[in-house]
């Protein structure tokens, strides 16, 4: 049993008892089992499930498949053994979570590149209905995963409502919620306790989060490297990275996600959550790409990914955000070589800093190159990037741009060009129904053509009566 402490003993929500176990105080509100004499008693780890004998990674190593492995294998058109071998080697992760309705996704070597869409409230715009709509638009537009990154409102309710609205595997950044709850309770995010941070991790995992971006690599060594190098052109742009740097500077101690990494792994293992090692030192301007702080964090993250796998926890690594085109290949090679080929989750990358309002395009350019060089998973960028919180239409455009980039990259990385060949043939034959069927966005393709004169014939309004294909076909048929 955990020991109950009076509210005045530790800062927390007014009138609610707090708990403390052997690992220190926690500020979470844990459901009581019974009350007696004015005290509430509950079992330690109220959010925990029973420890499972084997995680999916351990089962794959033992040659034992799961329903999720079989399902993703069928979706990818590969044998289940291919997924199992990839998981065992660390080159593939299967993201699911504990929700019964979730549609699992496999990410990694030899598989179709996956696209993530990130949504979530902010202190300026905290509208639950809008976020649910954005989540549904992301799924309807073809995103493979969703990250719920809210920082305002009832964060637990928002997350649970969004998870209930879609079947996509969902990711999160627990540090966001822990920082927000610390600010609410203590008046400052930098007052966050270890107990609160780990309790939020477990709370989110229990809700069915399938992968978590954890900023373990932002430790004292990384911050020292950041301070010693030249001043960054674009500053520190990762919210998680900035939160953790501010916390360490205030507390004058090590990042608990790094210092108590084994405790983190206990929670992730218990709920079969994939560890996505966050890129808190990612560049926010192309001039800052591939600098010492970014590489220092990568070195730490690769070591932690190995430790996670030793503990039976699947792991992938996140990559930098703003990168000039001529450094993308180097970044992919570095991550793959240092990590032993673990899945690479790249945020963007945005390839120029001068196109606000069009960064879904600048990121799509970078993503196509990154995927071609070996990136496995890309996070979309919307037209609202650098300008404001995305709306539903921004989400749709971001997902479509990222899906196009992923497909372009896969034509190189995987050599998958059959769909393009079929589209070329359909265009030569002026088979519009087949063109719509093969299009990445059939509805938009049909709407654009139908909105213009000439859509009732074989050609289109671009050439009108001077259709190059019809002229060429007529000429060739006469020659034959």
Per-residue pLDDT of 322-377, as tens digits, reads 999 999 999 999 999 999 999 999 998 999 999 999 999 999 999 999 999 999 99
How many CB atoms sit inside 10 A of residue 51's CB?
A: 8
State how far the Cα of 138 lies from the Cα of 148, in Å rounded to an integer.
12
The answer to whether the peptide bond before residue 383 is cis (omega within 30 degrees of 0) is no
pLDDT at 3: 37
pLDDT band, very low/low/confident/very high, at 469 (cuts 50, 70, 90)? confident
- 184 Rama sector, left if φ>0, alpha if ψ -120 to 50, beta otherwise: alpha
Q: Could you report the per-residue pLDDT of 284-306, keeping only the tens digit for each?
A: 999 999 999 999 999 999 999 99
| Residue located via tokens 């690769």 | 302
Task: Find the helix or strand (DSSP H, E) in which 296 lies.
Answer: helix 292-310
- CA quadruple 25, 27, 28, 31: dihedral sign: positive
The pLDDT mean for the chain works out to 89
pLDDT at 32: 33
| Residue 206 · residue 271 · CB < 8 Å | yes
pLDDT at 478: 67
Q: CA 202 → CA 118, 177, 256, 317, 450, distances in Å?
A: 21, 12, 15, 21, 51
Q: How confident is the model over 120-149, as a mean pLDDT?
A: 98
pLDDT at 459: 75
Q: Could you report the per-residue pLDDT of 40-57, keeping only the tens digit for each?
A: 333 334 444 444 569 999
Nearest residue to 197 via CA among 221, 180, 217: 180
pLDDT at 20: 37
State how far the Cα of 366 lies from the Cα of 372, in Å rounded to an integer.
10
State how far the Cα of 223 lies from the Cα of 241, in Å rounded to an integer.
10
Burial class for 235, CB neighbours closer than 10 Å (0-12, 13-18, 19+)? exposed
Q: Is the pLDDT of residue 277 over 90?
A: yes
User: Under DSSP, is residue 373 helix (H, G, I), strand (E, B) or coil?
Assistant: helix
pLDDT band, very low/low/confident/very high, at 454 (cuts 50, 70, 90)? confident
Question: 332 CB contacts (<8 Å, ≥6 apart)?
Answer: 319, 344, 346, 370, 373, 374, 375
User: In the numeric block, which tokens belong to residue 172?
Assistant: 């999160």
State how far the Cα of 76 lies from the Cα of 80, in Å rounded to an integer.
10
| Residue located via tokens 């509430």 | 40
Q: Is the pLDDT of residue 402 over 60?
A: yes
Q: Could you report the per-residue pLDDT of 84-112, keeping only the tens digit for each?
A: 999 999 999 999 999 999 999 999 999 99
State how far the Cα of 167 lies from the Cα of 238, in Å rounded to an integer.
27
pLDDT at 38: 38
In this predicted model, which residue has the larger pLDDT, 33 or 409?
A: 409
pLDDT at 480: 57
Q: What's the Rg (C-alpha) of the chain?
A: 24
Q: Is the pLDDT of residue 4 over 90?
A: no
| Residue 83 · residue 69 · CB < 8 Å | yes
User: Residues in the chain, how many?
Assistant: 480
Nearest residue to 162 via CA among 151, 144, 146: 146
User: In the numeric block, which tokens belong to residue 132?
Assistant: 């649910």
């Amino acid at each position: 049993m955990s020991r109950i402490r009076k509210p005045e003993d530790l800062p927390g929500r007014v009138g609610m008892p707090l708990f403390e176990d052997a690992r220190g105080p926690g500020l979470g509100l844990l459901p009581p089992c019974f009350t007696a004499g004015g005290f509430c008693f509950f079992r330690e780890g109220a959010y925990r499930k029973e420890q499972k004998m084997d995680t999916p990674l351990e089962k794959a190593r033992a040659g034992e498949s799961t329903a999720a492995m079989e399902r993703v294998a069928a979706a990818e058109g590969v044998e289940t053994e291919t997924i199992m071998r990839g998981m065992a080697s660390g080159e593939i992760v299967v993201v699911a979570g504990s929700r019964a309705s979730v549609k699992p996704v496999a990410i990694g070597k030899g598989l179709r590149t996956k696209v993530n869409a990130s949504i979530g409230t902010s202190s300026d715009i905290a509208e639950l209905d809008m976020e649910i709509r954005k989540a549904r638009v992301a799924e309807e537009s073809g995103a493979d995963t969703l990250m719920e990154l809210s920082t305002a409102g009832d964060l637990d309710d928002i997350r649970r409502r969004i998870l209930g609205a879609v079947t996509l595997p969902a990711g999160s950044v627990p540090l966001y919620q822990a920082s927000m709850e610390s600010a609410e309770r203590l008046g400052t995010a930098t007052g966050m306790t270890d107990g609160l941070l780990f309790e939020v991790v477990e709370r989110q995992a229990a809700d069915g989060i399938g992968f978590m971006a954890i900023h373990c690599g932002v430790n004292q060594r990384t911050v020292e490297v950041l301070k010693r190098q030249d001043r960054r052109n674009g500053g520190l742009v990762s919210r998680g990275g900035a939160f953790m740097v501010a916390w360490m500077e205030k507390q004058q101690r090590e990042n608990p996600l790094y210092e108590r990494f084994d405790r983190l792994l206990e929670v992730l293992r218990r709920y079969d959550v994939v560890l996505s090692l966050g890129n808190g030192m990612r560049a926010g301007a192309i001039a800052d790409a591939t600098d010492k702080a970014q590489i220092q964090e990568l070195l730490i993250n690769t070591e932690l990914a190995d430790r996670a796998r030793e503990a039976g926890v699947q792991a992938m690594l996140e990559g930098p955000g703003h990168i000039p085109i001529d450094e993308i290949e180097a970044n992919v090679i570095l991550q793959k070589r240092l990590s032993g080929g673990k899945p690479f989750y790249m945020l963007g990358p945005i390839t120029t800093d001068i196109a606000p309002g069009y960064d879904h395009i600048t990121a799509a350019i970078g993503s196509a190159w990154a995927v071609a060089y070996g990136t496995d998973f890309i996070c979309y960028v919307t037209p609202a990037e650098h300008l404001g919180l995305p709306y539903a239409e921004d989400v749709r455009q971001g997902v479509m741009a990222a899906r196009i980039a992923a497909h372009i990259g896969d034509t190189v990385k995987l050599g998958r060009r059959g769909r393009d060949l079929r589209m070329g043939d359909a265009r030569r034959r002026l088979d519009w129904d087949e063109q719509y069927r093969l299009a990445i966005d059939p509805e938009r393709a049909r709407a654009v053509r139908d909105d213009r004169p000439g859509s009732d014939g074989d050609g289109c309004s671009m050439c009108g009566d001077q259709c190059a294909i019809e002229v060429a076909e007529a000429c060739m048929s006469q020659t034959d």
